[in-house]
Amino acid sequence: MYFEKVGIGEHGLLLLPGALGSTKTDFGPQLKKLNRKAFTIIGWDPRGYGQSRPPNKVFTTDFLQNDAEDAALLMKELGYEKYSLLGWSDGANVAAILSAKYPERVRKLVVWGGNSFITPEELEIYKKVRDVANWSPAMKQPMIDVYGEETFTKLWHDWVDIFVKMFEGKSGNVDLYMNELKKIKAQTLIVHGEKDAMVPKFQAEYLHKNIQGSRLVSWDDGKHNLHLKFADRFNALVEEFLSKDFSKL
């Protein structure tokens, strides 16, 4: 598995990317600008993504859980007994699953764009964005640069299709890890962009309600990729949360 490591701080910080994401596509401003004296920042390409290939990702119904195990093993191999997690979108889900399964290992947790369940309405959103020909060049080109157009298209179709498969035979929501949230003990910051077209606000509210003692921050101008569009503001919020006593925020 491929990873990048920058900084000299005692506080280890793992960045977990979104669907098909990698250090190259998802966390450039964080790897470049987060405080390298306070943190050691580790960017990671999950198995089958980015430079952690070949082989390409094979999506199964438990792929988020498998990624969480890989992330935990990576940090163990790097020598971290305790560390913090920053997870975006699918990476938020992976980070939450890891935090629930190994609560003794996670110091603090920051998630945005995540969802512990999927509604039928959200599945329709996924289906609408399945055709990458309809994506904006700004969203599509970074993925093509990493995978090539053919591989990117296939992987994205596979990602959408695994959620379609999860809904087969079901009339309601699909539970990804709802019952695991109560096991999270890490101090948790949830950030939500009010203009997020992929993840409705009720998902952030559900995380906030079910992760004990968590803090929810909403940005009126934020979209799904708020950490990229408003990188400086996001980084400042994260550094404050990670560096200070949670009870004083």
Q: Per the residue annotation, which of 67, 70, 90, 196 is the catalytic one? A: 196
Q: Per the residue annotation, which of 11, 192, 208, 224 is the catalytic one? A: 224
| CB-CB neighbours of 200 under 10 Å | 16
Calculated CA dihedral for residues 63, 67, 70, 71, nearest 10 degrees: -170
| Annotation says 221 is catalytic | no
Structure tokens at 24: 């190259």
Q: Is 169 exposed, middle or buried (0-12, 13-18, 19+ CB in 10 A)?
A: exposed
Strand partners, 109: 85, 188
Instruction: Write the DSSP symbol of residue 81.
Output: S
DSSP state string for 136-179: -HHHHHHHHHHH-HHHHHHHHHHHHHHHHHHTTT-SSPEESSGG
| Annotation says 89 is catalytic | yes
The closest alpha carbon to 19, from 42, 41, 45, 1, belongs to 45
Q: Per the residue annotation, which of 52, 89, 116, 214 is the catalytic one? A: 89
Instruction: Write the DSSP symbol of residue 58.
Output: -
Alpha-carbon distances, residue 242 vs 110, 154, 170, 203, 213 (angstroms): 9, 37, 40, 23, 15
The closest alpha carbon to 160, from 196, 187, 191, 198, belongs to 198
| Annotation says 224 is catalytic | yes
Instruction: List active site positions.
Output: 89, 196, 224
